[in-house]
Amino acid sequence: MTETYNFRPRIGVLALQGDFEAHLKMLAELGAEGIAIRLPEHLDKLHGIIIPGGESTTIGKLMVVYDLREPLQQKLREGIPVWGTCAGLILLAKETDNALAGQPLLASMDIRVRRNAFGSQRESFETDLTVPALGEAPFHTFFIRGPLIETVGPEVEVLATLDDGTIVAAREGNLLGTAFHPEVSGDTRFHQYFLRIVEGVNR
Ligand code: GLN
């Protein structure tokens, strides 16, 4: 018997600052419903959450101002799939080497990150990554003052490294973290990968 399967994932994208529009556009392209999260009530009935790149200090502060930090942490405790890209990865990490004193974080994923690890804006770069979980074709992507992942806990799967072994993408259960910006690559495979995690939880 063939399974009929009409699940349309509703994915919230934290829309306080940063590159949220590009994520919403990719989600629309993939047929998912994208919701811009600006208020706590926008977290209702979501199947997954994306925390975009931008400036983690600013996003963190705004998260507190808009009363979103607590409810986001509650969602994380409930096990909702969450994907952090770049600044979003910093916010998701349990540890950062140089978070500004008092920088509000979500502190959920068992990784330690180093902010601005590749230098200033001018040292931003593009590269072709090998990401076995996405198939054979390399994933062309952009590092824009991104962090790197220094260490990962025992339950964390490394999804991609640079040629020198630097970890730049990882997964821990329903949590996904990427140090770069897949939403500006034109390649939807990382978004599809996240949607598969979401579908797995909602089957
Ligand atoms: N440097 C930023 C931070 O520390 C992250 C940059 C980005 O998201 N592209 O928050």
**pTM of the full predicted structure?**
0.95
The per-residue pLDDT for 188 is 97
CB within 8 A of 163, min separation 6: which ones?
A: none
Residue ranges around ligand 1 (CB below 6 Å): 53-56, 86-87, 90, 115-116, 144-146
Q: How far is the CA of 88 from the centre of ligand 1 (A)?
A: 8
Residues of the chain short of pLDDT 50, as ranges, are 1-2
Q: How far is the CA of 89 from the centre of ligand 1 (A)?
A: 9
Ligand 1 atom closest to Cα of residue 181:
9
> 20 and 52 in contact (C-beta within 8 Å)?
yes
Backbone angles phi and psi of 160, in degrees to 5: -160, 145
CB within 8 A of 138, min separation 6: which ones?
A: 128, 129, 130, 131
Ligand 1 atom closest to Cα of residue 86:
8
Ligand 1 atom closest to Cα of residue 116:
1
Q: How far is the CA of 91 from the centre of ligand 1 (A)?
A: 10
The per-residue pLDDT for 4 is 52
